[in-house]
Chains A and B, each alone.
Chain A
Amino acid sequence: MSTTALWGGIFLIALALCGVGLGWRLRRLLAHPSRPDRAPPRGAAWRGILYAFTWGMMPWAKESTRRHFLPYVRGVLFHIGIFATFASLIVSPWRHALPPTLAQVGLGLTLMGALGGLIGVLMRILDERLRALSHPDDDAAVVLATAWQAAGTAFWADPGALPFFYGLSALTLVAIPLTKIRHCLYFFFSRFFFGRFYGRRAVLG
């Protein structure tokens, strides 16, 4: 069995563990009551929900993100990088057949995300406020996600780095339901509740 195939197998096991972990988290969330909102709405819930996932995420939409424009944009780039790294993982078995332009885009996006992550790690170390608020889990999660994206960059730069990329991908996938990275699941619920609340009350949307 080649090294790549071995790591591929490990990656698939990690993917399954990630699915089970997130599935457990999701089931636990849905097992809690969803309280009804019977008050007649002033506005449309869907408009608020749409706003919450679109315009409301723009850096200019909130005072906080206008004030912290660069850190917010860093965060956005970091998360775009995560999606790009995940996409890289999916297409990795067909790396040799992909057009060079796509490889360059993959390289650029994962590199951008890794740099965003690196700045995030430095912020957590240097910013007194973030230090006070962070737990070891927070720091480890940012470091891991950054390293994963760096592995993605390495994979695009040199296909020989594929085992390394798979190894870090496996570690990241296992970590998702166990660490702060699990906010990727709750994010959608939180923004949904936010949008529904303010949409029904005709405040946003």
Chain B
Amino acid sequence: MSELVQQALAAFEKSLDRRLLAALEVCARCGICAESCHVFAAEPDFRNAPAAKAEAVRRFYRRHHDPIGRLFPWWVGAKDLTEADLDELAELAFGACTLCRRCTMNCPMGVDTALIMRAARAMLTAAGKAPEMLVQLADAAIAREENLELFREFYIDQIRELERELQEQTGDPAARIPVEKERAEILYVALSGAHTILPAAILFHAVGADWTLSMFEAANYGYFLADLQRAKAIARRIVEEARRLKVKEIVLAECGHAYTVLRWEAPNWFEDFPFRVRSIIEVAAEWIEQGRLPLDPAANPEPVTYHDSCNLGRNGGLLEEPRRILRAVVQDFREMNPNRAENFCCSGGAGLVAVPEWYEKRMRAGRRKVEQIRETGARIVVASCDNCRLQLGDLNDYYQLGVRVSGLMDLVVNAYLAARRSSPTRPAPIPTPAPVSVS
């Protein structure tokens, strides 16, 4: 057995808990899961069926863990793991499964194929077979923390630039984007680029929120690698920043996997986790319900449809909040079919969108999503996840859909600014945030 295979198997053994073991053992190979997978729906080759993909892991699991698999491997389809198998597994676990769990919802046994594929990803990362791009992105995020002082000044300068845009948009020269503000209520963790900072800043300003912007971005490529050490290191930057600033709440930008990591996983990784984690979607929905945001849906007159991100929706529970927001900020909201927990993955999730060599693959796999969008007749497709937005943008170009892909908060800001313009005398609840303090 080669060293790589040994490393892979060691990582697999580490992943093997009760949930994974049950998922590996329970499959009855009825094949009913096949059409629930967007990859299979686009390319009905049975090798794309979730049960068939998981078999690549079950084969060597049985060889090592099942008495019959040890004695009579041919009887139960057991097989020793080889380096060639690792290459095949990399194609399946990273390239043909977005860990969306649509198959789990559709399996009579509830087989968690995403869990199996995550175990495969952990093995492949340990054996150095993970996509290089994902490894580089994860390591770059870790390096950013280690070299924080190097880029701090540059980052603050960029935020000041953005602040001017905020002042212009809000018409308030005192509007601020606070950074490293101690004891703020909210630590807002954005993604790389202004597109998730400015809309949130406008909304925080609108309701007079006590907030501060994180020095780090929410994305966590270590999670895509199923590399617990890297994922924890990336999450730790934000958790420690929140502790240091003594904030009460972490609010995340519109990002699917960041929500999974910080909302659902990180509390299991860190002993001291004394703050609530919410998505900006939950926060905005609450403000809208409380009537704190004046909104004019006429600002968004075109037909709009919503793509449920798998991490936020099916695997995160944020199913109704985006819809409550959309009903308040657009004139013509149209559901995709199926939607909510049954929605199809865009095919760009779990890191696929970041790996250039899989462009054609994810374009093919996204065909079912394209059909869904076309059926709505919408002109704007809203997604609350940056990876989904990138993928939907690519699908839009590839299939010439002729739609515009937008973030949810962009539409909220449109509706808010339009409402402000139409009622300039409206008493706006806009206490000025405290000036920036950079420690």
Contact = CB atoms under 8 A, between A and B. Distances in A.
Contacts of B51: 133
Contacts of B341: 203-204
A136 B267 CA distance: 44
Contacts of A36: 268
B110 A201 contact: no
B55 A32 contact: no
Interface in B43-76: 46, 49, 51-52, 55, 67-68, 74-76
A38 B27 CA distance: 28
Interface stretch (A66-74, A82-90, A95-103, A156-164): A66-74
B397 to A, nearest CB: 29
B35 A38 contact: no
B17 A34 contact: yes
A32 B23 CA distance: 13
Q: Per DSSP, are chain A's interface residues mostly helix, strand or loop, or mixed?
A: helix
B196 to A, nearest CB: 23
Contacts of A183: 25-28, 109
A201 B315 contact: yes
A30 B18 CA distance: 7
Most buried by B among A32, A134, A193: A193
Interface string B269-294: 00001001000000000000000000
Interface residues of B, number: 57
A62 B105 contact: yes
A86 to B, nearest CB: 18
Q: How large is the interface on A (under 10, 10 to 19, 20 to 34, 35 or more residues)?
A: 35 or more
B23 A190 contact: yes
A20 interface: no
B338 interface: yes
A57 B106 CA distance: 10
A202 interface: yes
A203 B316 CA distance: 8
Contacts of B377: none
A27 interface: no
Contacts of B317: 42-43, 201-203
B26 A72 contact: no
Contact of A64 (B21, B76, B106, B268): B106
B19 interface: yes
12 contacts: A33-B17, A35-B17, A37-B268, A40-B267, A64-B35, A64-B36, A64-B107, A129-B46, A132-B46, A133-B46, A137-B76, A191-B109
Interface of B: 16-23, 25-36, 46, 49, 51-52, 55, 67-68, 74-77, 104-112, 263-268, 273, 276, 313-317, 319, 338, 341-342
Q: Closest 7 interchain pairs by CB? A: A194-B110, A64-B106, A186-B26, A135-B77, A201-B317, A189-B22, A202-B317
